[in-house]
Amino acid sequence: MATTTATPTPAPKVNRIGLTVLDYRGGKTTLCAGCGHNAISERIIDAMYEMGVQPERVIKPSGIGCSSKSPAYFMSRSHSFNAVHGRMPSVATGAMLANHKLIALGVSGDGDTASIGIGQFVHLMRRNLPIIYIIEDNGVYGLTKGQFSATADLGSKLKTGVVNDLPPIDTCAMAITLGATLVGRSFSGDKRQLHSLLKAAIAHKGTVMLDVVSPCVTFNDHEGSTKSYKYMKDHEEPLQELSFVPAFEEINVEYDAGTTVEVTMHDGSRLRLSKLEEDYDATNRIKAISRLHEAHEKGEVLTGLFYVNPEAPSFIDMLNVTDEPLATLPESVTRPGREALEQVMEELR
């Protein structure tokens, strides 16, 4: 018998609901090595884990495309619905009507959102449905081998040399215009910023629209592309340094009120914006839209939190639905009694 005492295996690190980061993992990715989408999946796993979100409460609706396959690669303990091309918003809306206690994390792509899905995207944004809508934006259709999408920048070049001669749709400017209540842009390679934005998204009640530039290593990462890793590293202009303090953490770090603004989220969490651009105000919708248009004029790739309104009523609030999820209401509630039918029949006699 050995005389040495065995060192106890350290207990795995758990979050506030007792789950390990492994409980948030998904299946093995089948996307290309180096695809930006995989990095976004990793950030989602980290954010959900750190926020202590019960994975069973999360649903992962998606459309069609490389981006929309990615829900298979994170959070296997959450229900997924890989729907039809461009129409994840309606599926997500239906699911949230059925059970508003769910947390919807929708994944779409730039083709899925800005072309075939632009109609449903527009109407989702105007309803302020509680959902985190992520566009994994690479400017091309991957699964059909590299055609331009509607977010491709003017003058951007395909591998084949074809130059895009149409202006891009700015999904963030659109989302703010239409009524989304937390809107930002990030880059799959900007780990810190994306992490903070995702945590703020989880704390937000209403429509979150995050456009995450996510380079396609196979079809759109070459010289001449404006959605490549290199282009993003050279041109990304963050508006702020973001940090997020969840409601359940009692950390009070002093900050300089002159350069930092704190936004209190609906659940009491705080999002700190250390301004890199002095006069930018992320609660001003009109200025946000104007700044985005200005960025296009200047050829900047602006990132960060563009707009937030933590208090706007959500679509669920407006519908005044009962607290219990509609999905599981018992028959005693959903089927009126005999006297109700008799009353209606009497009126029709």
Partner 1 sequence: MATTDVALHEAFGQREPKRVVNNMSIQVATVNGSGSQSSNTVLLRSIFQMGVPVSGKNLFPSNIAGLPTWYTIRANKDGYIARKKEIDFVIAMNAETAQEDVMSLAPGAAVLYDEPLKLNALRNDLIFYPVPYDKLVAPVCPEAKLRKLVKNMIYVGVAAQLLGIDMAEVEKALRKQFATKVKAANLNLAAVRAGFDYATANLTKQDPYFIQRMDKNQGMIIIDGNSAAALGCMFAGVTVVTWYPITPSSSLVETLIDYMKEYRIGPDGKATFAIVQAEDELAAIGMVLGAGWAGARSMTATAGPGISLMAEFAGLSYYAEVPGVVWDIQRVGPSTGLPTRTSQGDVLSTAFLSHGDTKNILLFPCSVAECFSMAQDAFNLAEQFQTLVFVMSDLDLGMNNWMSDPFEYPKAPIDRGKVLTKEDLDRMGGFARYKDVDNDGIGYRTLPGTEHPAAAYFTRGTGHNEKSGYSERPDDFEKNMERINKKFETARAFVPRPELMAGKSKAKIGIIAYGTSHWGIIEARDQLRDEYNIETDYLRLKAYPFSREVHEFIEQHERVYVVEQNRDAQMLCLIKLDIKPELVTRLRSIAHIHGLPLDARSVTDELTSMEGK
Q: Is 301 in the site for partner 1 (CB under 8 A)?
A: no
Rounded to the nearest whole angstrom, what is the least distance from the CB of residue 133 to partner 1 in the complex?
A: 14
Rounded to the nearest whole angstrom, what is the least distance from the CB of residue 239 to partner 1 in the complex?
A: 32
Which residues from 103-132 bind partner 1, rule CB under 8 A? Answer: 119-120, 122-123
| Amino acid identity for residue 332 in this structure | S
299: Cα separation from own chain's centroid: 24
Burial class of residue 273 (count of CB atoms within 10 Å of its CB; 0-12, 13-18, 19+): buried
Segment lying near partner 1 (by CB under 8 A), choices 52-60, 214-222, 282-290, 299-307? 52-60
Rounded to the nearest whole angstrom, what is the least distance from the CB of residue 8 to partner 1 in the complex?
A: 26
Q: Is 17 in the site for partner 1 (CB under 8 A)?
A: no
Segment lying near partner 1 (by CB under 8 A), choices 5-13, 213-221, 256-264, 313-321? 313-321
Residue 307 to residues 103, 210, 214, 256, 285, Cα–Cα distance (Å): 21, 11, 21, 21, 6
Segment lying near partner 1 (by CB under 8 A), choices 187-195, 267-275, 297-305, 339-347? 339-347
- Residue 216 has which token pair? 């396609």
Q: Is 313 in the site for partner 1 (CB under 8 A)?
A: no
Rounded to the nearest whole angstrom, what is the least distance from the CB of residue 161 to partner 1 in the complex?
A: 33
Helix (H) / strand (E) element for 271: namely: strand 270-275
Among 56, 277, 294, 311, binds partner 1 (CB under 8 A): 56
* Residue 198 and residue 44 in contact, taking contact as beta carbons nearer than 8 Å: yes
Among 47, 91, 208, 263, binds partner 1 (CB under 8 A): 91
Among 101, 112, 171, 219, binds partner 1 (CB under 8 A): 101
Ranges assigned E (strand) in 42-166: 58-62, 79-82, 103-109, 131-137, 140-141, 147-148
Rounded to the nearest whole angstrom, what is the least distance from the CB of residue 202 to partner 1 in the complex?
A: 17
Which of 175, 184, 63, 183 is CA-nearest to residue 125? 175
Rounded to the nearest whole angstrom, what is the least distance from the CB of residue 176 to partner 1 in the complex?
A: 19
DSSP letter (8 states) at residue 180: -
Q: Is 97 in the site for partner 1 (CB under 8 A)?
A: yes
Segment lying near partner 1 (by CB under 8 A), choices 42-50, 207-215, 272-280, 321-329? 321-329
Q: Is 83 in the site for partner 1 (CB under 8 A)?
A: yes
Rounded to the nearest whole angstrom, what is the least distance from the CB of residue 65 to partner 1 in the complex?
A: 12
Instruction: Count Cβ neighbours within 10 Å for each residue of 187-214 and write b for 16 or more, e otherwise.
Output: bbbbeebbbbbbbbbbbbbbbbbbbbbb
Among 102, 158, 180, 213, binds partner 1 (CB under 8 A): 102
Q: Is 251 in the site for partner 1 (CB under 8 A)?
A: no
- Residue 323 has which token pair? 């607290």
User: β-pairing, 140-141 with 147-148?
Assistant: antiparallel
Residue 229 to residues 85, 295, 302, Cα–Cα distance (Å): 27, 19, 15
Residue 231 to residues 35, 137, 183, 227, Cα–Cα distance (Å): 15, 14, 22, 6
Q: Is 12 in the site for partner 1 (CB under 8 A)?
A: no
Rounded to the nearest whole angstrom, what is the least distance from the CB of residue 168 to partner 1 in the complex?
A: 23
Residue numbers of the site for partner 1 (CB under 8 A)? 23, 54-57, 59, 61, 71-72, 76-84, 87, 89-99, 101-102, 119-120, 122-123, 319-323, 325-329, 331, 333-336, 338, 340-341, 344-345, 348-349
